[in-house]
Amino acid sequence: MLQKNEDNERQRSFSRRALLLGGAQSLLLAGLAGRMYYLQVIEADRYKTLAEDNRINLRLLPPPRGRIVDRFGLPLASNRQNFRVVLVREHAGDVEMVLKALSQIIDLDDHDYKRVLREVSRKRGFVPVTVRENLTWDEVSRVEVNGPELPGVTIEMGQIRDYPFADSMAHVLGYVAAVAERDLTGEPLLELPGFRIGKNGIEQKYDLALRGSAGTSQIEVNAYGRVIRELSRDEGKRGDELVLTIDGGLQTFTHQRLMAEQSAAAVVMDVENGDVLAMASVPSFDPNAFNIGLTVKQWNDLLNDQLHPLTNKALAGLYAPGSTFKMVVALAALKSGIRSDHKVFCPGHMTLGRSRFHCWKRHGHGWVDMHDAIKHSCDVYFYDVSRKVGVDNIAAMANHFGLGQEVGIDLFGERAGVVPTRDWKLANVGESWQGGETLITAIGQGFVLTTPLQLATMTARLAGGRQVIPRLSRGVRAGAGPTEAGGVAPPDFPPLDVPLEHLRVVRDGMDAVSNHPRGTAYRARIEEEGLELAGKTGTAQVRRISMAERAAGVTKNEQLPWRRRDHALFVSFAPVHKPRYCCAVVVEHGGGGSAVAAPIARDILLETQRRDPSGRRSLPIIAPAQIAERG
């Protein structure tokens, strides 16, 4: 009986345990079933999307960069095919052996070897590594013919920036180069291998408009990331085409005309609308080299060149304006109430206190009025009127004509220069203004510093009577190409706050400089009827001439070392009786303005009038006449 009770108790215990285990298993199965239902039914779309994301990679495609063209549609910066040779490690096998074989076909230096070996060791075996870019057709052909002996080596085609005019357009256009770490903004496009952005000049100023919008490519990959096939492709939007005010032919002519000098700059402008038709600076550089990639030696050579080829001297070169500043002083005198028939006797010098201030003509000009003072560039006359006018009034007039401040051209790197005042000297030098400094300022020396662009702007305002602002961009055209839209209306600049009769006095004086037999630039005149120019010479000293040297005879420029010679300047406009174009030329250490700078300006203005870029039919343009950025 006792044994039977024990068996019944054991049976009941087993049944309870089985029931508990069965319940637990049922609960677990129910939970698994519920989880599977949740994952496979409720979350099905989500996990399908995740699976697709793992299977499909979305890659950015760099858009073609927009072209830059001159006012007549001549391409100044465009894109050309770029062939590059790439290597895939998993197909190549022995990478070093393949590179050695490849070096027998195309040029590979030690830098290329080390770079490729470094990159293939860091990247997955199926990722292509660029061996060399910018292959010629001959090099491409040799690689393709020898393809069976070069496992893992293929040719890819892309695009690279091309500047057909090279150094003659370099300072205006600038260049593109690889994205530096400081340029990264988080935009994925900037992180694409080989992507280039504008680093200088117009390329930098209008980079966003020229850059365009990235395209996309949907790529199917396996679990290891290897590409299986391309599913879809959107090429994106190419960059907009930028139309400049530059006349490509005139720009080339201007640059070539300056090439005879070691260091010089010139600017040609339309007097009416401020279009910069040419802006040249020598020496220059080849922007294509930056696009391809400079070696350390090439970069150091450019940086250490004492003639500063990387500097746009037309925009950022600072020079004492010399006698080209005298027109400003004359206008300040007229505004102060000094009449144009006011006469001054020039014996060749003026004494102020214990100092003697000399005229460039040793024995003087005799009696001169304002017209004759401009024609003969008499220093003593302007010494006299500047004492009556005062430096602050001269500075105010200079600012009115664009000197001593940025003129507002649509280009980075412009420098403001200096037009001194009493307050300026006290703040910057820590000393009070001296009377003799007013005299020196009156002939464009001392603290006065200007750029060739400012001098061109000054001349345009003198000739046209309006507050002209120079511009390089006429607008953009949509990336798809030319349209049939109408042209851009010229800017409506307000008139100068200067009486027309005052401007006439100065213009007549400049006319006499070039077209009167006793004018300082008569030998550099334009003799063709109807194309005559009016101008003003300038010679800016870069050294102090001692009293002993004056007594013995001032040393001629050609007898001095190049860096101690005077700067030569000339500003001009044409035609005389209906001004349309103006030109400013500065030749560093060139000597006399009449002998060196004036003939250059004459040739440039003559070519400008023959071409008449503002009178010819321009290309249709859409978008604003001036844009700073477009994205």
Please give the model's pTM, rounded to 2 decimal places. 0.81
Q: Please check the confidence at residue 167 and state whether its pLDDT lies above 70.
A: yes
User: Mean per-residue pLDDT for 194-203?
Assistant: 87
Q: Please check the confidence at residue 354 and state whether its pLDDT lies above 80.
A: yes
pLDDT digits (tens, 9 = 90+) for 511-551: 999 999 999 999 999 999 999 999 999 998 876 665 555 55
pLDDT for the residue numbered 631: 33
Of 139-143, 155-159, 246-250, 607-611, where does mean pLDDT reach its minimum?
A: 155-159
CA atoms within 13 A on the CB side of 127: 11
Mean pLDDT of the chain, nearest integer: 84
pLDDT digits (tens, 9 = 90+) for 558-593: 667 767 788 999 999 999 999 999 999 999 999 888
- pLDDT band (50, 70, 90) for residue 105: confident
pLDDT for the residue numbered 188: 74
pLDDT for the residue numbered 622: 37
Q: Please check the confidence at residue 45 and state whether its pLDDT lies above 70.
A: no
In whole angstroms, give the CA distance from residue 211 to residue 233.
Answer: 19
Strand order in the sheet with 215-221: 56-61, 215-221, 227-234
pLDDT digits (tens, 9 = 90+) for 416-443: 999 999 999 999 999 999 999 999 999 9
And the tokens for 382? 């302007």
Cβ proximity of 433 and 425 under 8 Å: yes
pLDDT for the residue numbered 86: 82
**Helix (H, G, I), strand (E, B), or coil: what is residue 221?**
strand
Cβ proximity of 595 and 569 under 8 Å: no
Higher per-residue pLDDT: 156 or 609: 609
pLDDT for the residue numbered 229: 66
**Helix (H, G, I), strand (E, B), or coil: what is residue 592?**
coil
pLDDT for the residue numbered 621: 41
**Helix (H, G, I), strand (E, B), or coil: what is residue 343?**
coil
The ranges assigned to domains in the chain are 89-151
pLDDT digits (tens, 9 = 90+) for 57-99: 666 677 889 999 999 999 999 998 888 888 888 778 888 888 8
In whole angstroms, give the CA distance from residue 6 to residue 8.
Answer: 5
Of 100-104, 340-344, 426-430, where does mean pLDDT reach its minimum?
A: 100-104
- 621 CB contacts (<8 Å, ≥6 apart)? 243, 474, 475, 476, 477, 485, 487, 488
pLDDT digits (tens, 9 = 90+) for 602-624: 999 999 999 999 887 544 443 33
Q: How large a percentage of the chain has pLDDT more than 70?
A: 82
And the tokens for 147? 């393809």
Which are the catalytic amino acids?
Answer: 323
User: Mean per-residue pLDDT for 489-500?
Assistant: 86
User: Mean per-residue pLDDT for 466-480?
Assistant: 83
pLDDT for the residue numbered 50: 44
- pLDDT band (50, 70, 90) for residue 126: low
pLDDT digits (tens, 9 = 90+) for 359-417: 999 899 999 999 999 999 999 999 999 999 999 999 999 999 999 999 999 999 999 99
